[in-house]
Amino acid sequence: MKAHTKETQAAMTPNKSLEYLKEGNQRFQDNLKADRNLLDQVKDTSNGQYPFATILSCIDSRVSSELIFDQGIGDIFSARVAGNFVNEDILGSMEFACKLAGTKLVVVLGHTSCGAVKGACDNAKMGNLTKLIEKITPAVNAVSEPQDASLRNSKNIEFVDNVSKKNVELTIERIMKESEVLADMQNNGEIMIIGAMYDIHSGAVTFYE
């Protein structure tokens, strides 16, 4: 499999880009890999890059977008921060990726048993992590069940995973609200912005379509 070129990137659509990621994740679950020479892709991309997707994910060591979607050099832009939320810098990076570099799909990828989400559920305090966790707190507050305070913590994995999903949804809302560039591109059908969840037990990605 060769690296994407300007021509192959131009031929991609948002829906086709999504299918590429779905197919790659299925290969990952099946313990298969596309036939590609990464060093050849390094050479192919040395004078330019033409990725088809931008993925915002957590820094969790188990959730490498290139691996779980079986993608090669130059295929995707990968932004990572604990808790997969957006700020001004990440939004700017996404705008570059879509408006200037031509990606057709933005995926906000959460994952089960997220440590940053667990910290937010427990209202953890530690150095700069405190400020990071505060950005996830709105998702904690937006999940109404369970109402029993003793069950609204990191020991309740169902609650944690529900907060992770809500965090993905709120992150997409922020992208649409705070980036006129990306919102306009989505509304015009140039890109698709979609949420997804990675299951750390199965390796499967569920897209919120």
* C-alpha 148 chain-centroid distance: 31
pLDDT range class, residue 32, cuts 50, 70, 90 = very high
- 44-102, pLDDT tens digit by residue? 899 999 999 999 999 999 999 999 999 999 999 999 999 999 999 999 999 999 999 99
Q: How many domains does the chain have?
A: 1
Residue 49 included in any domain: yes
Q: What is the CATH number of the domain that holds 116?
A: 3.40.1050.10
Across the chain, what does the average pLDDT equal?
A: 96
Q: What is the mean pLDDT of residues 157-165?
A: 98
Residue 30 included in any domain: yes
Residue 161 included in any domain: yes
Model pTM?
0.95
Closest CA to 12 of 21, 175, 209: 21
Encoded amino acid at 179, one letter: S
Residue 17 included in any domain: yes
- pLDDT the model gives residue 77: 97
Residue 1 included in any domain: no
- pLDDT the model gives residue 5: 87
**Sequence-separated (6 or more) residues with CB below 8 Å from residue 121:** 140, 152, 153, 154, 156, 159, 160, 163
pLDDT range class, residue 153, cuts 50, 70, 90 = very high
Residue ranges for the known binding site for Zn(2+) are 58, 60, 111, 114
Q: What percent of the chain has pLDDT over 70?
A: 100
Among 7-11, 19-23, 66-70, 191-195, the least confident range: 7-11
Instruction: Quote the tokens at residue 52.
Output: 């088809």
**Terminal Cα distance for the chain, rounded:** 28
| Host domain of residue 171 | 6-208
Residue ranges for the known binding site are 58, 60, 111, 114
Residue 125 included in any domain: yes
- 184-196, pLDDT tens digit by residue? 999 999 999 999 9
